[in-house]
A and B are shown apart, each in its own frame.
Chain A
Amino acid sequence: MFGLDKKDASLLLVVAALVVFAPFFLNPFPEASGWAQFNAGYPDLMQRFVIFGIFAIGFNILFGLTGYLSFGHAAFLGVGSYAAVWMFKLLSMNVIPAIILAVIAAGVFALIIGYVSLRRSGIYFSILTLAFAQMSFALAYSVLTPITGGETGLQLALDDPRILGGLSSSDGNIPVPGLFGLEMRDSSKLVLGGWVFTFNFGYYFSALIMLLSFYLSIRIFRSPFGMMLRAVKSNQQRLNYTGVNPRPYTLAAFVISGMYAGLAGGLMASMDPLAGAERMFWTASGEVVLMTILGGVGTLIGPVLGAGMIKYMENIISKINSDILHTWFAFLPDGLEDAVVAMIYPFIGKGWHLTLGIVFMLVVIFLPGGLVEGGQRLAGLFRRKKTDESKTATTEPAE
């Protein structure tokens, strides 16, 4: 199907099903129950899942295939966001031109940075990209304030030109991004008993783009071009000696993954029309590295899983406060309750980084292949049992 072999096609279908039904299984707990705290099925977080999924898929094309670890990928995300917000300010609130310009701007930017950085490999390459990203951050934060809005971020205003119309919404406010009249924030709710499921247009729009990016990434992985990139990763010197120049390939991979990041940035701005410089900060670049490693480097679905995991922890764990803990453990005797809460407290709320750090360490130590390896081992466990059973089944009659 779609030029994919059976295994890849079924993977794509599984991802598509996950994405389409996400509003259901991300909200497994009824609204009124205490567990509703762990529900992740609200539009903003679901949008983040797929958008950072795109970002991580793109990063994986560079890091997973060529082994070049870029530590400045957030810069492309930021450039994409700024480009998209400028389109909203100047052209119209339709997301299509915004996303197109975001991808192009990030691609051009990646071409320039990649051209310089790819002269080195290994740690030097990482440091060069990091330096470029920090430079972009510093520029966006202060020097380029007229273009980027500086610390406050680039925002829409009522007096923006918007030459294609849509100066203000019907009630005199700043219009919101949309697709030919459908607003990105349009949501509808489905109430089933105690459960409330939210379907958001912006989410499904991003999800569709994520599926397309995922499909493109599979095609790249399976193409001769992808094979060439893997060759760069396994032994670049040998490639040089056989007379192949790897630079055009690595540069192409770099630009492609920069464009993915720009696409993610453009989508982020489309969901929430604001672009801030923090998006380009080095910790944001580090985050996508974490996502990719947590999920599984060089695997197709790993980065998406990693992105989901990190965003879930950032948004759900960080919002648990000590009051909520106390209500959870209210059934314990007073002294014990306080002790249990005091023990868990450092790992929730502002301590979510700590929890993330522990999870990351555990994954890297015990599952070097990331969550994907965890899944494979689980699957392997069941499969072995099955084969064992079949073995006994075949041997028994002989007795």
Chain B
Amino acid sequence: MSKGNLTRRGVLKTGAVAGAGLAVPTYLSAQESGFTNAPTGSTVTLGFNVPQSGPYADEGADELRAYELAVEHLNGEGDGGMLNTFSSKALQGNGILGKKVDYVTGDTQTKSDAARASAKSMIEKDGAVMITGGSSSGVAVAVQALCQEAGVIFMSGLTHSNDTTGKDRRANGFRHFFNSYMSGAALAPVLAANYGTDRKAYHLTADYNWGYTTEEAVKSSTEALGWETVAAVKTPLTQTDFSSYIAPVLQSGADTLILNHYGGNMVNSLTNAVQFGLRDKQVNGKDFQIVVPLYSRLMAKGAGANVKGIFGSTNWHWSLQDEGSKAFVKSFGTKYGFPPSQAAHTCYVQALLYADAVQRAGSFEPCAVVEALEGFEFDGMGNGPTLYRAEDHQCFKDVLVVKGKDNPSSEFDLLEIVEVTPVDQVTYAPDHPQFAGGALGTCNNGA
């Protein structure tokens, strides 16, 4: 440097001034209440953090609709929806603990960073006492960890990876949605019954966390029934043309293709596979079959006629005939004019479950809510009797095995329910190898 005139004294002086400046904020430290964002006025703010842009924007839009509906019902507007069928009758339709429910929304962009930034601004700026939503496991895990640090409750939306309540579980986070293990456990018997027990499977797996856990789950459940896994190939998440991955399938001697893909990936890979004529082929004297472990109506819509006759699993479907589902479909349909997706269902239920837990606990304090939710058994929310297990904060309930409908009657009527797998068949021990390595820690009330 040409004009360096730093002196020792100068440096010391500046350092002292800067240090004093940094120390000032800590003098002003003051805690106001027992927990983060304790609602003080006549309203309580919930944060709905959903993907409004990016690959899962459709799911996000549907989630937001469900949340708006839930807020309406909690505040006693509309027809009440599932509040009428919910087994717990704590909620009165006058908000939560008498406070009117208010909400803020944010865009996760299906990126962990953006989702955390959005959740942080809800917590730090808008005073949200609970964050919910999301349509990706990566985001769910990231936001769940954030909520744990900040001391608010996180009610995850659509997240299917084992890790959310497995190795990345947190005390302040809860999942209603089912997971990869449950998909595998529910699907395998149906597949064995329809396709036999001596199949050779070829996996195409989206190359990221959710893909790995789904592949592992489906592999271990099908292998337990006698299937053989020929190969498991990872495909990049950003891939849009899967031709080069489909071509080697037939040469491998496999007679079943399992697509561990979600969203746009699944739409493209399934379309490619059908276009290649895989389903018309005969291998090992058997018809070639394709399986999609995680189905959603929005994906089925994207893949069009290609989904006909293809098996998969789903958390919930609007054609279920129990009272809870019917009430939800009715109020959602009245408000928006079409039936809700499974993402909408799980988000709606999560919002209600949180409100109910607060009501029963008598406080918004996260630790009290955690206590109210742990081991909570309920019914009337569309999946039959359900348990929020205390050990990992995962809901245990029936899982649906579905099949692409051969003769859809409308653009929403694309899947038919093949079997409702009872909850016992999909239950696992909290320390199951696919879920091992995590710890809830203790609930955090924050400030």
Instruction: Give the interface of A toward B (CB within 8 A).
Output: 2-5, 20, 39, 42-45, 48, 138, 141-142, 145, 150-153, 155-159, 168, 171-174, 176, 182, 185-190, 198-201, 204-205, 208, 219, 222-224, 272, 274, 276, 278-279, 314-315, 318-319, 321, 349-350, 353
Q: Shortest 3 CB-CB distances between A and B: which pairs?
A: A151-B208, A188-B28, A350-B52
Q: In angstroms, how far is the closest chain B Cβ from the Cβ of A254? A: 20
**Is A353 within 8 A of B25, CB to CB?**
no
Q: In angstroms, how far is the closest chain A Cβ from the Cβ of B1? A: 6
**Is B53 within 8 A of A152, CB to CB?**
no
Q: B30's closest neighbor in chain A, by CB?
A: A188
By the criterion of a CB under 8 Å from any partner CB, how many residues of chain B are at the interface? 64
Instruction: Give the interface of B toward A (CB within 8 A).
Output: 1-6, 10, 18, 21-22, 24-30, 32, 52-53, 57, 104-107, 111-114, 116-118, 120-121, 124-125, 136-138, 141-142, 145-146, 148-149, 161, 163, 167-168, 171, 207-210, 212, 234, 236-237, 437-439, 441-442, 444
**Is B113 within 8 A of A3, CB to CB?**
no
**Is B138 within 8 A of A152, CB to CB?**
yes
- In the complex, what distance in Å separates the CA atom of A186 from the CA atom of B26? 8
- In the complex, what distance in Å separates the CA atom of A314 from the CA atom of B117? 10
- The contact of B121 among A156, A198, A319, by CB within 8 Å, is A319
**Is A201 within 8 A of B1, CB to CB?**
no
Residue pairs across A and B with Cβ atoms less than 8 A apart, 10 shown, are A141-B207, A152-B112, A172-B442, A173-B149, A185-B149, A190-B28, A274-B145, A276-B138, A318-B107, A350-B107
Q: In angstroms, how far is the closest chain A Cβ from the Cβ of B233? A: 13
- In the complex, what distance in Å separates the CA atom of A172 from the CA atom of B141? 19
- In the complex, what distance in Å separates the CA atom of A201 from the CA atom of B97? 35
Give the residues in chain A near B209, CB-CB below 8 Å.
145, 150-152
Give the residues in chain A near B136, CB-CB below 8 Å.
151
Give the residues in chain A near B26, CB-CB below 8 Å.
182, 186, 188, 201
**Is B1 within 8 A of A199, CB to CB?**
no
Q: In angstroms, how far is the closest chain B Cβ from the Cβ of A183? A: 10
A44 in contact with B120 given A2-B6, A3-B4, A142-B234 (CB within 8 Å) = yes
Give the residues in chain B near A4, CB-CB below 8 Å.
3
- The contact of B237 among A151, A155, A168, A223, by CB within 8 Å, is A151
Q: In angstroms, how far is the closest chain B Cβ from the Cβ of A126? A: 21
Q: What does DSSP make chain A's interface, helix, strand, loop or mixed? A: mixed
**Is B145 within 8 A of A155, CB to CB?**
yes
Give the residues in chain A near B21, CB-CB below 8 Å.
20, 204
Give the residues in chain B near A188, CB-CB below 8 Å.
25-30
A279 in contact with B113 given A153-B138, A188-B29, A318-B107 (CB within 8 Å) = yes
**Is A44 within 8 A of B138, CB to CB?**
no
Give the residues in chain A near B118, CB-CB below 8 Å.
315, 318-319
**Is A155 within 8 A of B168, CB to CB?**
yes
**Is A276 within 8 A of B208, CB to CB?**
no
- In the complex, what distance in Å separates the CA atom of A141 from the CA atom of B111? 12
**Is A200 within 8 A of B25, CB to CB?**
yes
**Is A349 within 8 A of B442, CB to CB?**
no
**Is B22 within 8 A of A204, CB to CB?**
yes
- In the complex, what distance in Å separates the CA atom of A180 from the CA atom of B168? 28
Residue with the highest number of chain A CB atoms closer than 10 Å, among B3, B106, B121: B121
- In the complex, what distance in Å separates the CA atom of A201 from the CA atom of B25? 7
A272 in contact with B146 given A138-B236, A201-B26 (CB within 8 Å) = yes
Residue with the highest number of chain B CB atoms closer than 10 Å, among A171, A223, A279, A321: A321
Q: In angstroms, how far is the closest chain A Cβ from the Cβ of B212? A: 8
Give the residues in chain A near B28, CB-CB below 8 Å.
188-190, 199
- In the complex, what distance in Å separates the CA atom of A198 from the CA atom of B212? 42
Give the residues in chain A near B124, CB-CB below 8 Å.
42-44, 198
- The contact of A151 among B24, B210, B437, B439, by CB within 8 Å, is B210
Give the residues in chain A near B24, CB-CB below 8 Å.
199
Give the residues in chain A near B22, CB-CB below 8 Å.
201, 204-205, 208
Q: B48's closest neighbor in chain A, by CB?
A: A321
Q: A284's closest neighbor in chain B, by CB?
A: B113
- In the complex, what distance in Å separates the CA atom of A5 from the CA atom of B161? 58
- In the complex, what distance in Å separates the CA atom of A319 from the CA atom of B52? 11
A173 in contact with B444 given A152-B163, A272-B116 (CB within 8 Å) = yes
A44 in contact with B117 given A3-B4, A272-B146, A274-B112 (CB within 8 Å) = yes
Give the residues in chain A near B3, CB-CB below 8 Å.
3-5, 222
- The contact of A204 among B25, B149, B207, by CB within 8 Å, is B25
- In the complex, what distance in Å separates the CA atom of A159 from the CA atom of B441? 11
Give the residues in chain B near A278, CB-CB below 8 Å.
111-114
**Is B53 within 8 A of A350, CB to CB?**
yes
**Is B142 within 8 A of A349, CB to CB?**
no
- In the complex, what distance in Å separates the CA atom of A319 from the CA atom of B437? 36
- In the complex, what distance in Å separates the CA atom of A321 from the CA atom of B442? 35
- In the complex, what distance in Å separates the CA atom of A174 from the CA atom of B150? 11
- In the complex, what distance in Å separates the CA atom of A43 from the CA atom of B111? 21
**Is A151 within 8 A of B149, CB to CB?**
no
- The contact of B208 among A141, A321, A350, by CB within 8 Å, is A141
**Is A224 within 8 A of B2, CB to CB?**
yes
Q: In angstroms, how far is the closest chain A Cβ from the Cβ of B266? A: 16
- In the complex, what distance in Å separates the CA atom of A276 from the CA atom of B146? 13
Residue with the highest number of chain B CB atoms closer than 10 Å, among A42, A189, A318: A318
Give the residues in chain B near A190, CB-CB below 8 Å.
28
- A173-B444, A318-B107 known; 7 other A-B pairs, CB under 8 Å? A151-B137, A173-B171, A187-B25, A188-B26, A201-B25, A274-B142, A274-B145
**Is B441 within 8 A of A153, CB to CB?**
no
- The contact of B142 among A153, A223, A353, by CB within 8 Å, is A153
Give the residues in chain A near B142, CB-CB below 8 Å.
152-153, 155, 274, 276
- In the complex, what distance in Å separates the CA atom of A213 from the CA atom of B63? 43
**Is A3 within 8 A of B1, CB to CB?**
yes
**Is B107 within 8 A of A171, CB to CB?**
no
**Is B116 within 8 A of A274, CB to CB?**
yes
- The contact of B5 among A3, A43, A353, by CB within 8 Å, is A3
Give the residues in chain A near B148, CB-CB below 8 Å.
173-174
Q: A134's closest neighbor in chain B, by CB?
A: B238
Q: B60's closest neighbor in chain A, by CB?
A: A350
A152 in contact with B117 given A158-B439, A318-B106 (CB within 8 Å) = no
Q: A268's closest neighbor in chain B, by CB?
A: B113
Give the residues in chain A near B212, CB-CB below 8 Å.
145
Q: A174's closest neighbor in chain B, by CB?
A: B441
Residue with the highest number of chain A CB atoms closer than 10 Å, among B27, B112, B171: B112
**Is B25 within 8 A of A173, CB to CB?**
no
**Is B210 within 8 A of A186, CB to CB?**
no
**Is B441 within 8 A of A172, CB to CB?**
yes
Give the residues in chain A near B111, CB-CB below 8 Å.
276, 278
- In the complex, what distance in Å separates the CA atom of A274 from the CA atom of B149? 12
- In the complex, what distance in Å separates the CA atom of A219 from the CA atom of B105? 44
- In the complex, what distance in Å separates the CA atom of A384 from the CA atom of B2? 35
Q: B41's closest neighbor in chain A, by CB?
A: A32
- In the complex, what distance in Å separates the CA atom of A223 from the CA atom of B146? 43
**Is B138 within 8 A of A151, CB to CB?**
yes
Q: B444's closest neighbor in chain A, by CB?
A: A173
- In the complex, what distance in Å separates the CA atom of A48 from the CA atom of B117? 9
